[in-house]
Chains A and B, each alone.
Chain A
Amino acid sequence: MSKGFTPSPATPGVITANDLRMGHCVWMRDGRWTADPRAAELFEDEAIAELALLDAVSQADLVVGPYLVEAKRGADGRPEPAHFREAFRRSGPTHKHFQQAEAEASHV
């Protein structure tokens, strides 16, 4: 999906990966990693994005499989997913049983 994607002001992108030790999804901002997708840095310039991706790849002691993927700029200026796969990576599993279990766990 990210193959061949080139960010631009019209189609910005984010860099995302999985945390090496824990496995959860992370997003890049200012060369560091955050578990908050809304804090991800939006790249609109191809050259800057490529440099950031090189930086991401070099952080193999922290993350696995970093890639640049299309995102949308939300009304508040923060990134929103452009594809449903990325939406599920942000939200976690969508099925009812999981959602119920998570809700119950959060009330404990």
Chain B
Amino acid sequence: MFDARPQHNDQHREYLRHRTQQFRQQVQRRLDGSLTEEEFRPLRLKNGVYLQLHSYMYRVAIPYGALTPDQLRMLGHVAERWDRGYGHFTTRTNIQFHWHKLVDIPDSMEALNSVGIHSIQTSGNTIRNVNADAFAGAADDELEDPRPWAELIRIWSTDHAEFQFLPRKFKISVSAGKQDRSAVSAYDIGLRIVERDGQRGFQVWVGGGLGRTPYLGQVIRDFLPQADLLPYLEAILSVYNLTGRRDNKWKARIKITVAERGLDVFRADVEAEFAQRRQQFSGLDQEILRDLRARFAPPEFRDAPVQGYEAARAANGAFRSWTDTNLHPHRIPGYASVIVTLKAPGATPGDMSAEQMRLVADLAERLAHGDIRVNHDQNLVLPHVRKADLPELYEALRAVGLATANFGKITDIISCPGMDYCTLATARSIPIAQDIAAHFRARGLEDEIGEMKIRISGCINACGHHHLGHIGILGLDRAGVENYQITLGGDGYETPTLGQRAGAGFPADQVVPAIDRLVDAYLELRESPDERFLDAYRRLGVAPFKAALYPADA
């Protein structure tokens, strides 16, 4: 299988071998008492190793969500050999293994390195995993493939000496479609590939971020010529590195820097720095980009008649429903991108077993040009599948519980691990997601409700992106009892909006009834089945939905 990414070259392998050897020695020195926990902690975090509620958690980067079959198989192997047989995909398109033992992590790391993947910069105050559209290279509305740019940013940012000790962590997302599918407004830097007067460039967003003080990003440069990307990113990072607050962890993200200093002041500093930085770039980055573009060349698409596909749709209602829900338009006729949702009824959002990983890897190799993506919604995507192959793919996925037809529906819920795993959490998330999904599956309302994004976070750090949910749920500890606040009207994409808190929180056992009342109100109030919950909320405002949530106050 051809691997498009330069991660597999000898230099990269040597770099990973060296880093893993270094970490192996650090673990050994911690175990023999040469390093204290205070000394060891920042070293393990730099390698993605957290200590959570019940175990060590090992976070592995999946740059821009792209995986080869060999890599997915290896993730399955790691899950089985050193964890409990499954992994958890996150909204940042990383994978987390929740049951690693410290003594095993160097071996696990070495195994991952053998297929070019690693955990460097998955924690710490550095530039983290770069995100991009999961339909990159396939979407019918794409201006150009964003992956070469995302890979260029990954190469530039990995071990970038100047940016290893930023005030706080830093996240970058790249979008290339006419529709934003990468939530650029929610990132420290969001990049949208745009076209102006026939020229390609980037619209640059800065200062987005969720957490305890959520901000949507603002456009700092409406049009940046493509060749200026890296010097401009360096200018932003450099200004942030010097002016970002280091006195208070909760005010150290760039969103606060931009908000406190004002966009215009921040922009002026960035532009001045950019003028200097630009001169330092010799053009090597553009040479690398040309090489990357060649490496990310599209697969050799094959024509195939679609009659079989149409016949299967006509004959099999479940298949038809899956294709109606879980396909995304492809730029090549006769092809589709397939969303493999990890949200089967009763499943844990984002979890995938080793067996499922192996099967999807095999299917991708056989039916999907060997290309697999992880998307922002904790699902997998097979970006290039011939429609003629969809019936076979569907049956194979169905056999291992991966053909749930619910992409974008009320049961396709984003959930952070919450207090079932996370040491920062103030309440559980996963059981709430499971209860909501089970309830609406039982009511058979998924298709009737249509697009509905429910997102759940187990604390104010907002890893479940609850602020961006049409319905957001935030779990808190209220006097020793789990309590859940509901926010309404959030959106992370084309019309970015932070959800507004509806009112007092609900105890855990009242969350499903509250969402149920909300959904019933929406079904009653909508103008037509085409009016999404979000659209109805925007048309009507919060009042009727608040009345549904809190009938005693109405």
Contact = CB atoms under 8 A, between A and B. Distances in A.
Interface stretch (A3-11, A36-44, A85-93): A85-93
B178 interface: no
Given A60-B36, A94-B431, A23 B55 contact: yes
Given A94-B431, A95-B428, A65 B102 contact: no
B476 to A, nearest CB: 12
B420 A94 contact: yes
Nearest to B351: A97
Given A20-B102, A97-B347, A84 B482 contact: yes
Interface string B28-53: 00110100110000000000000111
B119 to A, nearest CB: 16
A22 B103 contact: yes
A78 interface: no
A107 interface: no
Given A20-B31, A101-B84, A64 B51 contact: yes
A84 B480 contact: yes
A85 B30 CA distance: 28
Interface in B78-106: 84-86, 100-103
A95 B420 contact: yes
B100 A101 contact: no
Given A60-B36, A85-B419, A96-B434, A18 B480 contact: no
A64 B54 CA distance: 12
Interface residues of A, number: 27
Interface in B468-493: 477, 480-482
Contacts of A101: 84-86
A22 B434 contact: no
Nearest to A95: B430
Contact of A93 (B30, B33, B421, B477): B421
A83 interface: yes
A25 B423 CA distance: 12
A32 interface: no
B101 A23 contact: yes
Contact of B53 (A88, A95, A96, A98): A88
A95 B431 contact: yes
A97 B85 CA distance: 13
A64 B347 CA distance: 32
A96 B85 contact: no
B503 interface: no
A88 B100 contact: no
Interface in B409-440: 419-421, 428, 430-431, 434
B348 A98 contact: yes
A95 B434 contact: yes
B550 interface: no
A20 B32 CA distance: 11
Interface in A9-30: 18, 20-25
Interface of A: 18, 20-25, 60-61, 64-65, 82-85, 88-89, 92-98, 100-101, 105
Interface of B: 30-31, 33, 36-37, 51-56, 84-86, 100-103, 346-348, 351, 419-421, 428, 430-431, 434, 477, 480-482
28 contacts: A18-B51, A20-B31, A20-B102, A21-B31, A21-B103, A22-B101, A22-B103, A23-B52, A23-B56, A23-B102, A25-B53, A60-B36, A61-B31, A61-B33, A65-B37, A65-B51, A83-B480, A85-B419, A85-B477, A88-B53, A88-B420, A89-B54, A96-B346, A97-B346, A97-B348, A97-B434, A98-B348, A101-B85
Given A23-B52, A95-B430, 9 more contacts: A18-B51, A22-B102, A23-B51, A23-B101, A24-B55, A25-B54, A88-B419, A97-B430, A101-B86
